[in-house]
Structure 1
Amino acid sequence: MKKIAFIIPPAVELLDLAGPMQVFSEASFYGFEVQLEFYSIQPDTASSVGLPFGKLQPYSKAALQAGDFIIIPGVRFESLKVLISWEKAFFHWLRDTAQRGINICSICNAAFFLGEAGLLNNRECTTHWRRVDALQKQYPKARVLNDVLFVKTDSIYTSAGISAGIDLALSILEELTDPLFVNKVARGLVVYYRRSHQHTQQNIYLDYRNHINPKVHQVQDYLVEQLASELSLEKLANLVNTSPRNLSRIFKEATGITIGDYLTKLRIEKAKTLKNNPDYTIEYIAAACGFKSPRQLQRILKSTD
């Protein structure tokens, strides 16, 4: 089971903490096995707006193994300079932890903590757009990027400010699961699943999902799960209690493509995945993906190569 330890600094920004935390909590609801733990840098920690936290174990008590994650949310910027001056032991601990193969993640201006620990040297990274220049100036060996949501370099992850921590957490979750599962989590959180240019290419299970129309999402989910079934526009329309004409209209408005085009893309994606298994015949793959014949599948795959 993966362990994700949130290290909560004084004057923490609540959304920096709550956003990523909720991603993994939602993933747990859908069956992902993860253990969330919470530690503090200083005793008697309170948020940037004064909300106090209960008694937390100090960060030094975190029992982490290679492959686990540490996530450090950002803080009120006025507190950052003081923390950097006082918490030298914490930065030594961060550096030692990274050397043990544990993934270190910063949200917003917590990138300064990573910089102080020497973890940004010769690495691409990012932070809140207001602090990009300051981060680069303070840690000149870092390669600070602007206009990206998050960056992964080796086992070091950094994100832009506030809600970008959700995007980073979803990206980490995809590394640990798969795109279809992450789409389910993102929908549960009612957020769009966005990616930076540092991340992998979009996947059909995530493409055309940047909308909040529940009927269209329901149809998309059904298509993913029922590719081998007999599908018709009338059947899909009945599924969401609307007319075929209205479903075609709202699907195109929400996704930008027709239901037929979306279905074809899904079938091609699944066929390419199944082709990686040498035990599957072309006849089996065609049937499993809903193609009329192996010849049709071969023709379509050839046209997409």
Structure 2
Amino acid sequence: MTRVVFLLVPQLHLLDLAGPAQVFSSADTFGLGYEAVYVAEHEEVPTAQGVALRAGTQWPALTPDDLIVVPGWRAPALRGTGVLTRATLDRLVAHHAAGGTVASVCAGADALGRAGLLDGRRCTTHHDVQDELARRYPRAHVVRDVLFVTDGRVITSAGIASGIDLALHLVAVRHGAAAAARVAREMVVYARRNGDDRQHSAMLRHRAHLSDAVHQAQDLIDARYTSTVRLADLAAAVGLGERTLTRRFTAATGLTPLRYQQVLRVEHAEHLIGQGATVEAAARSAGFQDARMLRRLRGRAEARQG
């Protein structure tokens, strides 16, 4: 069970909190084991949207597997907003020093900066306060125009809805891209990753549609893409004819079911090669009979990119 502690700061934005909280709640529904805990310096926490929240004031015992998230707050300027005591900031530092992960959404990055966790690290925040964050913490490297940045178990995200992307990324890192895609589908959102990191998984890239039958077919392919997946079996599983499934799958994803499986295999092989595996070993692990097909598909991909 991973405990996710949300540190609630006065005037927080509801979506900064609710987006990531929903991701981890959905992940827990699927049996991935998450428990949300809400703490604040005072029991009643006013929000930027006018709804008051209540939180505990006692911090739970944390392990390195647990996560602290600092949602953002209304901050036309960072200075003078999001007030936290030194004791609270020290809790962020102590959790990170013990091997835990600390994350922020939007202006929440300023709390991490005050704690000293941005020093020497890459980070990001909402575009309206990026310049001020860079001035306040000159030892940090503020990355612009990305959804989130990960650096040394410190994860910062941009404004408001990007907290969903950050949380989906954490689910993908801990449980795999298929799990993150399943959570994104449950939330009816497009599962994005930031432009700073290479997107390794088509499991997320090709989920930006609302076709339930196609999502079901993708779930089946995602679960066993290194094995033989027959179109007839996919069609029967989702209750469609083979031609109808192929037509809907292509319209939704831009790929046929076979091509989608090949993309998953190639990306898996690319990852293994990047980790030092030979092309032959990577091809076998990805489900190819030999390396020739892998080389051919990689060549086609490179030609399209060129």
- Which TM-score applies when normalising by structure 2? 0.82
Which structure has the larger Rg?
1
Instruction: Specify which of 189, 192, 200 is matched with residue 202 of structure 1.
Output: 200
Residues 1:81 and 1:57: Cα distance change in structure 2 (over 3 Å): same
Mapped to 2, the partners of 1:263 and 1:84 lie a distance apart of: 47
Residues 1:82 and 1:42: Cα distance change in structure 2 (over 3 Å): farther
Asked whether 1:124 is paired with 2:136, we answer no
Asked whether 1:301 is paired with 2:300, we answer no
For residues 61-113 of structure 1, give each alpha carbon's deviation from its aligned partner in whole angstroms, at most 9, with x where no partner exists.
33112232100100111595444566333223333332222211111001111
Q: Is the 8 A contact 1:204 1:266 kept in 2?
A: yes
Q: Is the 8 A contact 1:9 1:42 kept in 2?
A: no
Q: Which moved more, 1:160-169 or 1:34-43?
A: 34-43
Residues 1:55 and 1:207: Cα distance change in structure 2 (over 3 Å): closer
Residues 1:6 and 1:244: Cα distance change in structure 2 (over 3 Å): same
Mapped to 1, the partners of 2:89 and 2:222 lie a distance apart of: 46
Residues 1:210 and 1:62: Cα distance change in structure 2 (over 3 Å): same
Aligned to 2:51: 51
Aligned to 2:303: none
Alpha-carbon offset, residue 256 of structure 1: 1.5
Residues 1:208 and 1:81: Cα distance change in structure 2 (over 3 Å): same
- Which TM-score applies when normalising by structure 1? 0.82
Instruction: Specify which of 80, 87, 90 is matched with residue 88 of structure 2.
Output: 90
Mapped to 1, the partners of 2:150 and 2:4 lie a distance apart of: 17
**Equivalent residue pairs, number:** 291
Alpha-carbon offset, residue 229 of structure 1: 5.6
Q: Is the 8 A contact 1:84 1:116 kept in 2?
A: no
Alpha-carbon offset, residue 45 of structure 1: 1.4
Asked whether 1:41 is paired with 2:41, we answer yes
Alpha-carbon offset, residue 42 of structure 1: 2.7
Residues 1:274 and 1:155: Cα distance change in structure 2 (over 3 Å): closer
Q: How does 1:1-305 map to 2 (within 5 A)?
A: 1-58=1-58, 61-77=59-75, 81-83=79-81, 87-225=85-223, 228=227, 231-232=230-231, 236-266=234-264, 289=287, 294=289, 297-304=290-297
| DSSP-derived class of the 1:77 partner | coil
Alpha-carbon offset, residue 50 of structure 1: 2.4
For residues 261-303 of structure 1, give each alpha carbon's deviation from its aligned partner in whole angstroms, at most 9, with x where no partner exists.
2233345567899999xxxxx9xx69x95x7xx4xx4432353
Letter in 2 for 1:56: G
Residues 1:219 and 1:141: Cα distance change in structure 2 (over 3 Å): same
| DSSP-derived class of the 2:107 partner | helix
Aligned to 2:304: none
Mapped to 2, the partners of 1:134 and 1:273 lie a distance apart of: 37
Return 5+ residue gaps in structure 1 as ranges.
Answer: 277-281
RMSD of Structure 2 on Structure 1 (CA): 3.1
For residues 146-193 of structure 1, give each alpha carbon's deviation from its aligned partner in whole angstroms, at most 9, with x where no partner exists.
100000110111000111001101111122111111111111111111
Identity over the aligned pairs, expressed in percent?
Answer: 35
Q: Is the 8 A contact 1:10 1:42 kept in 2?
A: no
Letter in 2 for 1:29: T
Q: Which moved more, 1:185-194 or 1:219-228?
A: 219-228
